[in-house]
Amino acid sequence: METRAIDPAIVRNLSRKVMWRIMPLAGFLGLVAFLDRISLAFAGPQGMNDSLAMTATMFGFAVGIFTVGYVLFEVPTAGLATKAGSRKWITKILITWGLLQCVIAFAPNFETLIVLRFLLGVAEAGFTPTIYFYITAWFTRAYRPLAFVIYGSTIALSSIFGPIISAGLISAGNALPFAEAFPGWRFLLLFLGLLAVASAIPAHFGIVETPKEARWLNDTEKQQYADILAADAKGANIEHQSIMTTIGDWRAWVLGLGFFAINYASYTIQVWTPTVVTGFQEQFGTTFNMFQSALLAGIPMLIAMIYAFGLSWIAGKTGQSGILIAGSAVLGGIGCLWTTVAGDPSVLIIALAMVGMAGMSGNLYMPLVSRVFAGAGAYSAIAIVNSLGAAASFFSPIVTGYLIDTTGNTNAGFYFIAGLLVIGAAIAVMAQRMAAKTQLTDGKFDEAQKLPVTAAAQNIRT
Digit-coded pLDDT (tens) for 173-199: 888 888 888 988 899 999 999 999 999
Work out the average pLDDT over 103-119: 92
DSSP assignment string, 359-386: HHGGGGHHHHHTTT--HHHHHHHHHHHH
Written as one letter, the residue type at 173 is G
When pLDDT is cut at 50, 70 and 90, the band that residue 328 belongs to is very high
Partners of residue 450 on adjacent β-strands:
5
Residue 130 has pLDDT above 90, yes or no: no
Max avg pLDDT among 100-114, 126-140, 288-302: 100-114
* 371 or 100, higher pLDDT: 100
Work out the average pLDDT over 244-269: 84
CB 339 within 8 A of CB 197: no
Question: What pLDDT, on the 0 to 100 scale, is given for residue 461?
Answer: 39
CA 61 to chain CA mean position, Å: 21
Question: What pLDDT, on the 0 to 100 scale, is given for residue 14?
Answer: 92
Question: What pLDDT, on the 0 to 100 scale, is given for residue 51?
Answer: 86
* 379 or 226, higher pLDDT: 226
Question: What pLDDT, on the 0 to 100 scale, is given for residue 459?
Answer: 45
Q: Specify whether the backbone of 237 is left (phi greater than 0), alpha (psi in -120 to 50) or beta.
A: left
In a domain, 7, yes or no: no
Could you give the count of Cα atoms lying within 13 Å of 326 in the half-sphere of its Cβ? 16
Residue 336 has pLDDT above 60, yes or no: yes
Question: What pLDDT, on the 0 to 100 scale, is given for residue 460?
Answer: 41
CB 118 within 8 A of CB 67: no
Work out the average pLDDT over 288-315: 77
When pLDDT is cut at 50, 70 and 90, the band that residue 462 belongs to is very low
Closest CA to 134 of 92, 82, 96: 82
Work out the average pLDDT over 223-252: 80
Which residue segment(s) compose the domain that 57 sits in?
21-209+238-446
Question: What pLDDT, on the 0 to 100 scale, is given for residue 288?
Answer: 65
In a domain, 332, yes or no: yes
In a domain, 453, yes or no: no
Question: What pLDDT, on the 0 to 100 scale, is given for residue 129?
Answer: 84
In a domain, 6, yes or no: no
**Whole-number Å distance between alpha carbons of 386 and 277:** 29
Residue 78: give its domain's CATH number: 1.20.1250.20
* 452 or 49, higher pLDDT: 49
Max avg pLDDT among 8-17, 58-67, 241-250, 386-395: 8-17
Question: What pLDDT, on the 0 to 100 scale, is given for residue 440?
Answer: 62
The four Cα atoms 9, 14, 16, 18 give a dihedral, to 10 degrees, of -170
Per-residue CA distances from 141 to 44, 59, 73, 80, 295 (Å): 40, 40, 29, 26, 36
Residue 303 has pLDDT above 90, yes or no: no
Angle between helices 56-74 and 375-407 (to 10 degrees): 170
Question: What pLDDT, on the 0 to 100 scale, is given for residue 194?
Answer: 94
In a domain, 229, yes or no: no
Max avg pLDDT among 70-79, 271-280, 411-420: 411-420
When pLDDT is cut at 50, 70 and 90, the band that residue 329 belongs to is very high
Could you give phi then psi for residue 63, rounded to 5 degrees? -70, -45
Residue 305 has pLDDT above 80, yes or no: yes
Question: What pLDDT, on the 0 to 100 scale, is given for residue 280?
Answer: 62
26-64 confidence digits (pLDDT tens):
999 988 887 777 778 778 877 888 888 888 778 878 877
Name the domain count of the chain. Answer: 1
Written as one letter, the residue type at 425 is A
In a domain, 14, yes or no: no
Question: What pLDDT, on the 0 to 100 scale, is given for residue 116?
Answer: 93
In a domain, 30, yes or no: yes
**Whole-number Å distance between alpha carbons of 241 and 369:** 13
Mean pLDDT (the chain, rounded): 81
Collapsing DSSP states into helix, strand and coil, what is residue 451?
Answer: strand
Question: What pLDDT, on the 0 to 100 scale, is given for residue 113?
Answer: 92
In a domain, 457, yes or no: no
With a pLDDT cut of 70, the percent of the chain lying above it is 84
